[in-house]
Structure 1
Amino acid sequence: MRTTYVSLLALFMVIMATAQDKKQQDIDAIKSMCGCYEVTFNFTETFNYSSDSLYKPSATKVDKALEWAQLVTDDEDKIQIQHLLQVGDPSKPMIIKHWRQDWLYQNQELYTYDFDNKWNYEEKSEDQVQGQWTQKVYQVDDSPRYEGSATWVHVDGKSYWENTTPAPLARREYTTRSDYNMLLRDNRHEITNYGWLHEQDNSKVIKEEGKEDVLLAKEKGYNTYVKVDDSRCAAAANWWKEHSDKWELVRAKWNQVYNRDRDLTLENKVDNKTLYKFLFDENVDQADQIYTIIESFVKK
């Protein structure tokens, strides 16, 4: 009897050690996305399913940028990475706060995008998220964008994570397209020998309350992050040191909103002005200002 107990204990210890090794591999993969990168954003519409003979697909888009991915939070179960674009004259570049990605281990609470600026609060069971990481992606103003949970895979020398989840229209689309209102994102993040790859196979969907979703078109995204020396992004790194306190206040207010654990609908504009234009104002840097502005965009 004692032999059986010792054997089971030994097996349990091996399983726990293996799980910890796997988690560390996950963490190493996620954190390897930090640093300075030459980025190429590639998007092209691949198929359309519209019944309109005059339908015009989105033009193929290719953009290049220098991007700094700043490690903000480095905890055992939470990793935050803030992306900053560095553009213009290299001797005096302009810094643009870009998207943010949070990675949470075995996270059970998600805000899943519905449509028309609404996110539905969802709670998953422990079994559903066992060993998984949630990637939460945020807009430039730290409002929600999309999130999903999946397992990092390390096999045959590859490390990748992939998930399918609904999202708002991409910035490149929502100012020019009104014929669909939800993007079903099939995301793949893969660590490569040059840096990392963000590959997407997206569906452009027309969604209406009480009706079956309609697939309008599909698109391919292929965004490469080629690692370069961190010194090239020194301006972006310094900008973050100077402005990080303000954006910590912004994140704190959003955390208050998210912790209400209920569906969330946001205004597109307040006083005919978008949220990011309020928050990008250099004169807005106090907690009471920031909290009032963000709360004004949350529909009651």
Structure 2
Amino acid sequence: MNRLKTFLGASLLALACTAAPALAHPPIAAAQADATFEQDRADILAMAGNYKVRFDMQESTRWDAGYTPIDKKTSGGFESVRVIEDTGRRIVLQHLLVVNAEGKDMVIKHWRQDWEYEPTRVLVYADTNTWKWEDVPEKMRTGRWSQTVYQVDDSPRYGGWGQFETQGGVRRWRSNWTWRPLARRDAVRHPVYDRYYAINRHQITPDGWIHWQDNTKLGRKDGKLVPIVQEYVLNTYTKFDGYNVKAADDYWAATRDYWAAVRAEWDRVAKEKGGIGLQEEAETGTVISARLMELADNIRTGKTSTAKATTAALKLIADNTRTL
């Protein structure tokens, strides 16, 4: 009998240990959410600033025996991250990339990240040229934040929801599994894969912050999505003021009203059309991306007014999106 009790006890313990990973992210109690809300906000807002950025990308494990992983790629630059909206439960961060070309500093409006506390739904990448609304399970909303990432023209790229957590003394925000379209660095190579399935992490460091991605790259074979290769991406943002920060701020001061109108139009289309249906191309992202960016540059250089550029931009978005 004692041996039976010992066996049953060990078996139940083993089952409990096996089941533990499924409970890694259980629902959050309201009291716990209230206790960490301000720290969550502080961590998101801490990503704003001026940075030297290093992008490390490495295809590692191949899942397709016929595929050869590409060599590790490292690049970098300078990036200004600005808070352009903060309502308490919603924070919007705009990235502005500063590059030097032929001795002249240029500013490229880069990606944007929108954070929303306890969201009911998130705009996610659903399939080729398609972004749809996805409900966040009701029991998983309390205490969690969604992060929606937008491309250089403010069209959507990917979205997900997750929680801030501390493990091993390190605090981070970790997303659920999210689908993503190919980044331009991959798309221009026309690889055998056509999308990513990924987990996204953001962590504040003493020197700035890191953005860590775990990407499974998938492609279609015989009509089915299959994994091709695993990729690990670590983007490191280190606090740094030794570049032309003024160029980034001047660009944003000149174009922010235009981009606010563009953001509002994308939001309107997403709500009224059930998401965003929009053609993409490898070289530019969306088919209207280059023109939307050009209109902003024309405002900055005085070639056109904000009002005229905005009218043209809104028409481009309306004409090139479809109802889902």
Return the TM-score normalized by structure 2: 0.80
Of 19, 37, 62 in structure 2, the residue corresponding to residue 48 of structure 1 is 62
Show the 5 A alignment for 1:102-121: 102-121=114-133
Q: Distance in 2 between matches of 1:65 and 1:42?
A: 12
Q: Distance in 2 between matches of 1:16 and 1:166?
A: 29
Unaligned runs of 5+ in 2: 1-28, 299-303
Q: Distance in 2 between matches of 1:42 and 1:298?
A: 34
What's the CA shift string for 1:52-103, capped at 9, x where partnerless?
3xx3423321111010001100111100000010110698411000000000
Amino acid at match of 1:133: W
Which residue of 1 is the match for residue 316 of structure 2? 293
Q: Judging changes above 3 Å, is the alpha-carbon distance between structure 1 residues 91 and 234 closer, same or farther for their aligned structure 2 residues?
A: farther
- Name the SS for the 2:127 alignment partner: coil
Q: Distance in 2 between matches of 1:182 and 1:231?
A: 34
- How far residue 126 of structure 1 moved from its aligned partner, in angstroms, is 3.1
Which residue of 2 is the match for residue 216 of structure 1? 228
What is the count of residue pairs matched by the alignment?
281
- How far residue 21 of structure 1 moved from its aligned partner, in angstroms, is 3.5
Show the 5 A alignment for 1:63-102: 63-88=75-100, 92-102=104-114
What's the CA shift string for 1:173-210, capped at 9, x where partnerless?
001123111111221111111110111111001258x9
- How far residue 280 of structure 1 moved from its aligned partner, in angstroms, is 1.2
Which residue of 2 is the match for residue 247 of structure 1? 259
Q: Percent identity?
A: 33
Q: Pairwise CA RMSD of aligned residues?
A: 2.5
- How far residue 137 of structure 1 moved from its aligned partner, in angstroms, is 0.1
- How far residue 242 of structure 1 moved from its aligned partner, in angstroms, is 1.3
Q: Distance in 1 between matches of 2:220 and 2:64?
A: 14
Amino acid at match of 1:242: A
Contact 2:30 2:142 in 1 (8 A): no
Which residue of 1 is the match for residue 192 of structure 2? 179
Q: Distance in 2 between matches of 1:39 and 1:231?
A: 12
Which residue of 2 is the match for residue 140 of structure 1? 152
Unaligned runs of 5+ in 1: 1-14
Deviating beyond 6 angstroms after TM superposition, the runs of 4 or more aligned structure 1 residues are none
Amino acid at match of 1:251: R
